[in-house]
């Protein structure tokens, strides 16, 4: 019975095929490595230009790294298809734009890594309007200009990420941080701002970060920390590890408060290794070893040059006064001439008066007269 045999074989093949395709979505055949036991899918360095649409629904950990996504639109992840996805790594994908709602359809998302993407546009509504369960957000080397930093600040301040406990903003070349950026992150424990170009923290508020345990400010361009910032650090109950290494501390009078705080505080890691970068005579000096006599705070910081400039200034002022005086004299020369004449005349009258009296005194007859009358 050859016909029956062929039928059986065909059925078997179909069963095998159906079984195979039921367990293996297209994206798991070649583009991505899928492991159901590990609940992990990895699509690494495959030049993908979009998130594969048929990811298996068991996935908890998804790597889509080293591809060419370009932008992440609102429908990038299929709604309700990935209920367990909790770790999403999208680093190194040439992502420039992340649109509103792009990540709001992932109800279990806890960790997101967007590092190494040249982001220029990040919607504050990326995680939707309601609260997101996100706990870790990594944005190392991803913020390309100040506009995107403002978008990120708006997202954080909107209160959408109230469960965020770890925020990594290292390697971004940040110079100043938007005012109030961290005010709506009550669960934050670790904040990494290392390897940026932060010049100061005057407007940065760490108030309300009651859970903050570690703050990494190493490898920035900080020159001093002021009382207001130090007071905030003192007031954060959980803050135990502040990293301030590799900054450009300026050791003039303004650093006194920082030095005093360093000496008393046990919050700063490796505080003995912090050194002055300016002025030259203090270069390399340990901040912890500075005392009042090093800073000469009663006198201006650079006395000789200040004196020099003040002498030059005095000279210029005197020269100006002299020039104005001469000018006034010149403009008034007729009046002055007249005045000189008047004075001369007055003098002459006066002198003539004297002369007259002298002549009278010198007249012998009058002398006699007076002596006679005496007699």
Ligand X SMILES: *[C@@H]1O[C@H](CO)[C@@H](O)[C@H](O)[C@H]1NC(C)=O
Phi-psi region of 325 (alpha: psi -120 to 50; beta: other; left: phi over 0): alpha
With beta carbons less than 8 A apart as the criterion, state whether 122 and 152 touch. Answer: yes
With beta carbons less than 8 A apart as the criterion, state whether 18 and 39 touch. Answer: no
Q: Is the CA virtual torsion 182, 184, 186, 187 positive or negative? A: negative
Asked whether position 257 contacts ligand X by CB under 6 A, the answer is yes
> Which among 183, 139, 175 has a CA at the least distance from the CA of 159?
183
Q: How many residues does the chain have?
A: 375
Give the per-residue contact string, 293-322, with ligand X (x = CB under 6 A; - = no).
xx----------------------------
Please give the size of the binding site for ligand X, defined by CB under 6 A.
37
User: Binders of ligand X among 119-148, rule CB under 6 A?
Assistant: 120, 131-133, 138, 141, 145-147
How far from 124 is each of 29, 117, 147, 185, 276, CA to CA, in Å? 35, 17, 12, 15, 39
Query: Binder to ligand X among 125, 219, 223, 275 (CB under 6 A)?
Result: 219
> Which among 85, 86, 49 has a CA at the least distance from the CA of 66?
49
- Looking at the Cβ atoms of 35 and 214, the one nearer to ligand X is 214
Asked whether position 91 contacts ligand X by CB under 6 A, the answer is yes
- Looking at the Cβ atoms of 74 and 148, the one nearer to ligand X is 148
Q: What are the DSSP calls for 184-224, one per residue? A: T-TT--EEE--SS-----TT---TT-TT--EEE--SS----
Asked whether position 186 contacts ligand X by CB under 6 A, the answer is no
Asked whether position 97 contacts ligand X by CB under 6 A, the answer is no
Beta carbon of residue 17, minimum distance to ligand X (angstroms, whole number):
27
> Which among 305, 247, 249 has a CA at the least distance from the CA of 276?
249
Beta carbon of residue 239, minimum distance to ligand X (angstroms, whole number):
12
Asked whether position 281 contacts ligand X by CB under 6 A, the answer is no
Beta carbon of residue 199, minimum distance to ligand X (angstroms, whole number):
8
Q: Applying CB under 6 A, which residues contact ligand X? A: 46-47, 65, 89, 91, 111, 113, 120, 131-133, 138, 141, 145-147, 163, 170-171, 173, 176, 179, 192, 194-195, 203, 214, 216, 218-219, 227, 241, 243, 257, 291, 293-294
């Amino acid at each position: 019975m050859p016909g029956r045999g062929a039928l059986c074989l065909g059925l078997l093949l179909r069963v095998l095929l159906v079984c195979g395709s039921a367990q293996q979505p297209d994206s798991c055949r070649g583009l991505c490595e899928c492991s159901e036991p590990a609940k992990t899918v990895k699509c690494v360095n495959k030049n993908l230009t979009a998130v594969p649409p048929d990811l298996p629904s068991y996935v908890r950990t998804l790597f889509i790294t080293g591809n060419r996504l370009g932008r992440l639109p609102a429908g990038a992840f299929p709604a309700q298809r990935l209920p367990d996805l909790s770790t999403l790594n999208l680093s190194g994908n040439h992502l420039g734009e992340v649109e509103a709602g792009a990540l709001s359809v992932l109800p279990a998302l806890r960790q997101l890594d967007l590092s190494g993407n040249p982001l220029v546009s990040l919607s504050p509504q990326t995680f939707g309007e309601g609260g997101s369960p996100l706990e870790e957000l990594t944005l190392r080397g991803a913020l390309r200009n100040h506009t995107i930093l403002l978008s990120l600040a708006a997202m954080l301040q909107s209160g959408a990420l109230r469960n965020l406990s770890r925020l990594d903003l290292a390697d971004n070349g940040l110079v100043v941080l938007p005012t109030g950026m961290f005010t709506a992150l009550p669960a934050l424990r670790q904040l990494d701002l290392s390897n940026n170009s932060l010049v100061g923290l005057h407007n940065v508020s760490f108030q309300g970060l009651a859970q903050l345990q570690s703050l990494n400010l190493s490898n920035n361009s900080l020159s001093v920390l002021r009382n207001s910032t130090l007071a905030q650090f003192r007031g954060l109950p959980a803050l135990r590890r502040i990293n301030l290494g590799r900054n450009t501390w300026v050791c003039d009078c303004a650093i006194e408060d920082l030095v005093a705080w360093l000496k008393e505080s046990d919050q700063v890691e490796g505080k003995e290794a912090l050194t002055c970068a300016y002025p030259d005579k203090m270069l390399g000096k340990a901040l912890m070893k500075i005392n009042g006599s090093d800073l000469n705070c009663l006198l201006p910081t650079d006395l000789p040059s200040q004196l020099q400039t003040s002498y030059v200034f005095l000279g210029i002022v005197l020269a100006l006064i002299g020039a104005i005086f001469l000018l006034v004299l010149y403009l008034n020369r007729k009046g002055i001439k007249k005045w000189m004449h008047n004075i001369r005349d007055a003098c002459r009258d006066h002198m003539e008066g004297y002369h007259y009296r002298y002549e009278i005194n010198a007249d012998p007859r009058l002398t006699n007269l007076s002596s006679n009358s005496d007699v």
